[in-house]
Chains A and B, each alone.
Chain A
Amino acid sequence: MNAAAWTCLLLPLASTVLITLGGTRISRRLAGYISTATTMGAFVAAVVAFVQLLGKDADDRIHLTTSWTWLSAGPYHFGFTLLTDQLSVVMMLVVAGVGSLIVAYSVGYMDGDDEERRYFAYMSLFVFSMLLLVQGGNLLLLLAGWGMVGLSSYLLIGYHQDRPSAVAAAKKAFVMNAFGDATMALALFLLIAHTGKLGYADVFALSPHGGTVANLIALGLLGGAVAKSAQLPLHTWLPDAMEGPTPVSALIHAATMVTAGVYLIVRCHPLFENAYVIEDLAAGLGAATLLMAGLIALVQTDIKRVIAYSTMSQIGYMFVGAGLGAYPNGMFHLMTHAFFKALLFMAAGLAIHAVVGEQDIRKLAGIGKLMPFTKIVFLIGSLALVGVFPFAGFFSKDSILAAALAHGWYGDVIFAAGIVGTFLTGVYAFRLFFIVFTGEPSAFAREHFHAHHGKEGPLSMRWTVGVLAALSVIGGFLQFAPFWHPLSTWLEPVAAPIAEPSNAQEWLASGVALAVGLSGVWLAWAIYSANRIKAPAPVKLFERKFYWDELYDLAWYRSSDLVTRGLSTIVERPLIAGSMSAVSGAFGLGSRELSVAQNGLVRTYALALASGLAVLTVVFLAAR
């Protein structure tokens, strides 16, 4: 158990160190192979850990292993502890599994790039960080992994260092995540002040139930989750993050890092259950995000940005699930989403790779005719996204909506939002599919398309996409709520759901969602494929992304800039100049005043002598 957990964690780190120290001594392709091999090794280790857990009883599946005390101060001790339990092993499998597929894909995608070694070093660093996050045995290590994935995300988004837009996007992502780190740190300080510990079991047992402190703790954790998962209001970094290479978008901004927020809520669910107001807030934010993102996705013209907003929207669903207490459902959607979202990004990557890196859907239009394999896998991904039976999304998304129905009037509002969101998903997903992958190829596409040795892309790209397509088809059958639910049973000891929808609610949710989704698909088909309905003009509000970027620019960047400039002019410069001139001025003044007594006249000196003598005489006589 320990060996498997440590192997899983350390293999990717070893890869990073090896590639960094190797430098130009190892070839670029070799760097890619090292990275892929170690990530696959991590996956194997995760499978081993899973199998070992399977062999144990249901209540004996939580294993903590502490290797050394990482930090201590007086009576507080924080160890470097790894946790292997049902929840963490699910995340390990997803991260390492999907991660190894994407790293393998990158070998083909990044082939020929000058800085390929740096890319693979960063990718391995990311896998290590994400595994640390999910395997961390106490909240401090969770925060450590949290920050490190933010760092890896910064490094990978800013991979194209010579592009100012990429560098700016990387900084924006990091700073927003740093804000989330800060709120999480404050929550941890509260926990230390009130319980003196940061280990999961201790914290869950000792933290207060209800009240301001519990609310603040949950709010701090939620702040971190919202920043990491790009939910309202800390979502503006995600679309800009598309500046990174496509596999990065697939791995970090679809499958794993952005789902860390959901993992956090599920992992710390006792803390959130102590503060049900915050849980409801999480669900509400998720619902608002999924609507807003869906609306914005309708008008985007960059293929990756559409998928990015789709990710934002789908994570909104996961937040709804976690916020309503349907933890296994949220985790299930996390898993299936990893499959089909990575698939969508990687299929888009196949298209982008084949058409000289172009990402505009108007220029890529009709490429499906030239790339049939890509068209099919993209279709599979889109169907899974919309939640059409029997693809993966159907089983996972609808169970979340069912849980919403079981939550009273607030849940009903969220259910309505979710249904509208499903409709929008249908529309934007198939808008994308129909524009890019059906119809006649555009002039640009025809001119710039180049096949890779007669195939649509390198082998490494095609087989990994194929595997994900297969998973998107069959992955959903892992859990079909009314009939069989092994995942819920597996997760029950660590994440017992508090929302239990009835079978009727399940069927209702599934039926309505399916119908609504298909109607969205029909609408997209009618507008973009069959041209029966004219495409409406894009709404300015959606195109400007609801003006959030402008708001933040004004509220944070410009105001900080103003304050700093003010401080610099009004405080710093006078302070520095003034302090020195004050000192020299004071001494000069003193000197000038005192030198009046040295007027060069003998008689003044004589007078001084005489009067001094007189005073001293009086003093001595008086002191007698």
Chain B
Amino acid sequence: MRGPDIQWYVILSAILFSVGALGVMLRRSPLIILLSVEIMLNSANLLLIAFSRLHGREDGQIFAISVMAVAASEVVVGLGMIVALGRRNIDLDVDKLRTLRG
């Protein structure tokens, strides 16, 4: 395989995943959380493609395309909700959006 060794891809993917996870857990704006979820998804995609390249098979790449499709759909829904919240002048603060509490 040409380019960096596999471990660099794994490390990068791990860093990206942690950044994304921390962003989900620690940020308050739903937009940023959505962004962080995207980062996590992309880190998974990166890993999938890297290993697909390593093994020389295309399964990982095909799976990565499915993941992208799912990510796109979920972003549409999420951004739609955020725009709806914005239109109603509701605070975009996840700590304040607690209506679904038990």
Contact = CB atoms under 8 A, between A and B. Distances in A.
B33 A602 contact: yes
A600 B97 contact: yes
A258 to B, nearest CB: 77
Contacts of A73: none
A603 interface: yes
Interface string A582-624: 0000000000001101111111001100100000000000000
Contacts of A600: 97-102
Nearest to A602: B94
B102 A603 contact: no
B93 to A, nearest CB: 11
Nearest to B28: A603
B35 interface: no
B95 interface: yes
Interface residues of B, number: 14
B26 to A, nearest CB: 7
Contact of B24 (A594, A597, A606): A606
A209 B26 CA distance: 94
Given A601-B94, A602-B33, A602-B94, A610 B25 contact: yes
Given A601-B94, A601-B95, A606 B100 contact: no
B94 A603 contact: yes
Contacts of A602: 24, 30, 33, 94, 97
Interface in B82-98: 94-95, 97-98
A599 B98 contact: yes
Nearest to B100: A600
Contact of B101 (A598, A606, A607): A598
Interface in B53-102: 94-95, 97-102
Interface residues of A, number: 12
A606 B101 CA distance: 14
A601 B67 CA distance: 26
A597 B101 CA distance: 9
A601 B98 contact: yes
B31 interface: no
A603 B96 CA distance: 12
A607 B25 contact: yes
B24 A603 contact: yes
A605 to B, nearest CB: 10
Nearest to B102: A598
B21 interface: yes
A614 to B, nearest CB: 11
B33 A599 contact: no
Contacts of A607: 25
Contacts of B100: 598, 600
Nearest to A599: B101
Given A601-B94, A602-B33, A610 B102 contact: no
A448 B24 CA distance: 110
A594 B99 CA distance: 17
A241 B97 CA distance: 84
A598 B101 CA distance: 5
B102 A597 contact: yes
Contacts of A606: 21, 24-25
A595 B26 CA distance: 23
Contacts of B24: 602-603, 606
Contacts of A603: 24-26, 94
Nearest to B33: A602
A595 B95 CA distance: 17
A601 to B, nearest CB: 6
Contacts of B21: 606, 610
B12 to A, nearest CB: 20
A595 B97 CA distance: 17
Interface string B6-36: 0000000000000001001110001001000
A594 B95 CA distance: 20
Nearest to A591: B102
A163 to B, nearest CB: 69
Contacts of A599: 98, 101-102
Contacts of B25: 603, 606-607, 610
Contacts of B98: 599-601
B98 to A, nearest CB: 3
Contacts of B26: 603
B102 to A, nearest CB: 2
Interface string A18-56: 000000000000000000000000000000000000000
Contacts of B102: 594-595, 597-600
A176 to B, nearest CB: 66
A297 to B, nearest CB: 84
B84 to A, nearest CB: 16
Contacts of A594: 102
8 contacts: A595-B101, A599-B98, A600-B97, A600-B100, A602-B94, A606-B21, A606-B25, A610-B21
Interface of B: 21, 24-26, 30, 33, 94-95, 97-102
A-B pairs with lowest CB-CB distance, top 5: A598-B102, A600-B98, A600-B101, A595-B102, A603-B25
Given A600-B99, A600-B101, A602-B94, 6 more contacts: A594-B102, A600-B100, A603-B25, A606-B21, A607-B25, A610-B25
